[in-house]
């Protein structure tokens, strides 16, 4: 059983397939998959506690991960953030984790530069042949490094651009079933827009739109026809902040996200697979909005919805609640999240937790996922003020 699990794990890693919960055979599953899916994992504890909303929420040190255009709206001159999350621990994996680093520096009141990094360690994999004989082990790992520039066009509107390098080493030169796998590399870019309609007290609407991971396919072999799409994504978000008094405020947020990747052909459709892999990157972005076999209704099911609420007391203590929804035929990730935060002087600490859902084979594999975030706010005041983290 262990050998079969290991071979399955390697196959999943090399194909970029995501985990899908078991469901009725009468409900066809047609999940849009990509390589380097770690780029879609919520990278910070604050957004993780709000159901993975971050496109239009108040600016913070992790804005480069969600909407780079928010960065110039930070109150602090600069900040640094670290987040750590054990991953898929509910499946008994104790050595898989995601670690992120982000930071920004405001050149002046209008513009900022930023950088961020995601590092995904997939634990240790023992490779076996078709007879179950072990022939080596490897620790797959992936990372993405970004640099970005953002600027206010007015007091309420900001734009951002980022460049990303992606590295994915899943098999370390191993030969699996006659194919030698190598590390994959790609380059991508982000474009982002942010509107901050809050008044001088911080109350009001905000909105954002992002195009992320717009870049080249990634391959793990020398065969140029076997390259996979990376997770290009369209994100739309809105948020409203209500300031009750000088001590209490609350933000309500909602995000919509859709992969700009073609819907894959049915399993066993070899001709369709060849055609799928031949689609150019730019063409794939446009094709993704109208190629679902089920028509417009299936296209709608390819959108994920995130909702979240954040409450702050005296800009020092935060409580968060959220819900993430993905259609059962497109991955079936559905879960509630909770989180909390504390901020004092230059330090901030955030925590989030995915509430367990389902049972048995239908249990959400992300249940009990924890995220821990540490923030160093170099522009914070002694009274706890600073950026909204």
Q: Which residues neighbour 266 within 8 Å (Cβ) at sequence distance 6 or greater?
A: 30, 272, 293
pLDDT for 139: 86
pLDDT for 135: 66
Q: What is the pLDDT along the chain (389 residues), one digit of tens a residue?
A: 333 343 334 444 443 444 444 444 456 788 898 999 999 999 999 999 999 999 999 999 999 999 999 999 999 999 999 999 998 877 777 889 999 999 999 999 999 999 999 999 988 877 666 666 666 778 899 999 999 999 999 999 999 999 999 999 988 777 666 777 889 999 999 999 999 999 999 999 999 999 999 999 999 988 888 899 999 999 999 999 999 999 999 999 999 999 999 988 777 777 778 888 889 999 999 999 998 888 899 999 999 999 999 999 999 999 999 999 999 999 889 999 999 999 998 999 999 999 987 655 555 677 788 999 999 998 754 444 445 65
pLDDT for 24: 43
Taking the model in full, what pTM does it have?
0.88
pLDDT for 98: 96
Residue among 88, 87, 83, 89 nearest 66 (CA): 83
Q: What are φ and ψ of residue 69, in 5° steps? A: -65, -15
**Residue given tokens 């909390």 in the structure block:** 340
Q: Could you give the 3-state DSSP secondary structure of residue 381?
A: coil
**Token code pair at residue 251:** 């933000």
Q: What are φ and ψ of residue 119, in 5° steps? A: -130, 120
282 CB burial (10 A radius; 0-12, 13-18, 19+): exposed
Backbone Cα Rg of the chain: 21
Sign of the alpha-carbon dihedral angle for 293, 299, 300, 305: positive
Per DSSP, the residues of 265-323 read PPTT-HHHHHHHHHS-HHHHHHHTTT--TTTHHHHHHTEEEEEEEEEEETTTEEEEEEE
> Measured between alpha carbons, how far is 83 from 66 in angstroms, rounded to an integer?
14
362-to-23, 52, 122, 365 alpha-carbon distances in Å: 7, 22, 23, 9
Q: Which residues neighbour 171 within 8 Å (Cβ) at sequence distance 6 or greater?
A: 10, 13, 14, 127, 138, 140, 181, 182, 220
CA distance between the termini of the chain: 45
pLDDT for 67: 98
> Measured between alpha carbons, how far is 279 from 265 in angstroms, rounded to an integer?
12
* All domains in the chain, ordered by first residue: 2-377 (2.40.160.40)
70-to-177, 186, 288, 371 alpha-carbon distances in Å: 47, 26, 27, 22
> Measured between alpha carbons, how far is 37 from 42 in angstroms, rounded to an integer?
11
Q: Which residues pair with 238 in a beta bridge?
A: 207, 254
pLDDT for 72: 97
pLDDT for 270: 77
């Amino acid at each position: 059983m262990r050998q079969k699990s290991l071979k399955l794990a390697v196959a999943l890693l090399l194909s970029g397939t995501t985990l899908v919960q078991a469901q009725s055979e009468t409900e066809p599953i047609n999940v849009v998959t990509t390589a380097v899916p770690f780029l879609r994992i919520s990278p910070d504890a604050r957004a993780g506690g709000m159901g993975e909303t971050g496109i239009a929420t108040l600016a913070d040190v992790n804005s480069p991960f969600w909407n780079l255009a928010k960065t110039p709206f930070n109150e602090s001159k600069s900040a640094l953030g670290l987040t750590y999350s054990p991953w898929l621990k509910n499946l008994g994996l104790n050595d898989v984790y995601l670690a992120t680093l982000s930071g920004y520096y405001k050149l002046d009141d209008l513009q900022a530069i930023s950088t961020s990094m995601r590092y995904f360690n997939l634990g240790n994999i023992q490779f076996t042949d078709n007879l179950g004989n072990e022939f080596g082990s490897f620790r797959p790992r992936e990372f993405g490094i970004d640099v970005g520039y953002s600027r206010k066009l007015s007091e309420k509107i900001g734009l951002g651009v980022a460049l990303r390098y992606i590295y994915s080493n899943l098999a370390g030169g191993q030969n699996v079933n006659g194919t030698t796998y190598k590390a994959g590399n790609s380059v991508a870019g982000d474009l982002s827009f942010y509107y901050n309609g809050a008044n001088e007290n911080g109350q009001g609407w905000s909105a954002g739109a992002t195009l992320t991971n717009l870049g080249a396919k990634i391959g793990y072999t020398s065969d140029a026809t076997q390259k996979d799409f990376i997770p290009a994504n369209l994100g739309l978000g809105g948020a409203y902040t209500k300031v009750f008094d000088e001590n209490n405020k609350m933000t309500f947020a909602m995000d919509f996200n859709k992969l700009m990747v073609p819907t894959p052909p049915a399993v066993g459709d070899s001709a369709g697979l060849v055609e799928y892999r031949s689609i150019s990157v730019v063409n794939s972005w446009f094709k993704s909005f109208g190629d679902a076999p089920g028509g417009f209704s299936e296209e709608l099911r390819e959108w994920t919805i995130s909702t979240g609420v954040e409450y702050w007391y005296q800009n020092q203590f935060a409580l968060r609640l959220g819900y993430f929804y993905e259609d059962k035929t497109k991955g079936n990730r559905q879960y509630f999240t909770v989180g909390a935060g504390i901020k004092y002087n230059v330090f901030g600490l955030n925590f989030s937790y995915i509430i367990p859902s389902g049972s048995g084979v239908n249990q959400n594999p992300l249940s009990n996922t924890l995220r821990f975030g540490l923030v160093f706010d170099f522009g914070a005041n002694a009274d706890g003020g600073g950026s909204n983290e």
